[in-house]
A = this chain, B = another copy of it.
Amino acid sequence: MGEFRRATRGHEIVLDSRTDQLVFLADGATKLVVQLPDGSEQVLAFHFTGDMVHVPHRPGDRLQLVALDDCRAITFPTNAFLDAAEGEPEVLRTMLTRALLALQRSRNKAIRLGRKAAQERIADFLLAMAERIGIPDGTDIRIDLPMSRRDIGNSLGLTIETVSRQFTELRDSHMIATSGRSLVWLHDLEGLAVRAGQVAAQKVDPENCAISNKDLASPTMVG
């Protein structure tokens, strides 16, 4: 019933655009992008190994799932998948739980975007990435970002220049360190949480990083 797909960096994971699709990302990282009629594009979400992605059929605008590195995925038409799961309430329930989690992530994104300061968005983005793909490295958390500055900007409603300037400022204030285009070390999670406007609580616990999460083996759907 499902179809296997491969894609290399920068290439679209081809989907049947006639109906809603469910995509299980077996390996790799992707971005979900909408091409707006004015030619610009908006990144709606990033996904990583194990995630389940819902790609709705949207007449009117172009929705693409693009590989950020080498990807393997299995795609299903949503309805067909649900029909098959009809006799398996626990499958439906799991999917519902993931869908609600995806909704939470999307709402978090809305909070990020509605928040005006560029600095808050960037700090929040880094903390969110730390939770999903961060790896403890001494007292730091190391992140290997698969997406470009442009992708980050498109995701946060900022330009590539503003993203770069914010990275520079965080580097100058010793909250992060970078190497090359993709490696980032988070030095000061608390400081980043403050800059992200999360002052009250919600700090990233190193134990909650992707490495330890993987043991739970609970794939998540992301929006």
- How many copies of this chain are found per oligomer? 2
> Chain B residues with Cβ under 8 A from A95's Cβ?
96
CA distance A56 to B34 in the complex (A): 27
Residue interface mask A196-223, B partner, CB < 8 A = 1: 0111111000000000100100101001
A82-B96, A100-B54, A218-B60 are contacts. A37–B106 as well, Cβ < 8 Å? no
**Judging by beta carbons under 8 Å apart, are A157 and B197 in contact?**
no
| A80 within 8 Å of B (CB atoms) | no
> Chain B residues with Cβ under 8 A from A115's Cβ?
36, 40, 42, 157
| A104 within 8 Å of B (CB atoms) | yes
CA distance A95 to B96 in the complex (A): 7
- The B-contacting residues of A in range 83-106, CB under 8 angstroms, are 85-90, 92-93, 95-96, 99-100, 102-104, 106
**Judging by beta carbons under 8 Å apart, are B42 and A202 in contact?**
no
> Chain B residues with Cβ under 8 A from A10's Cβ?
none
**Judging by beta carbons under 8 Å apart, are A199 and B89 in contact?**
no
Task: Kindly report which residue of chain B lies nearest to residue A45, judged by CB atoms.
Answer: B107
- Tell me, rounded to whole Å, the shortest Cβ–Cβ distance linking A18 to chain B: 14
> Chain B residues with Cβ under 8 A from A103's Cβ?
54, 99, 102-103, 106, 223
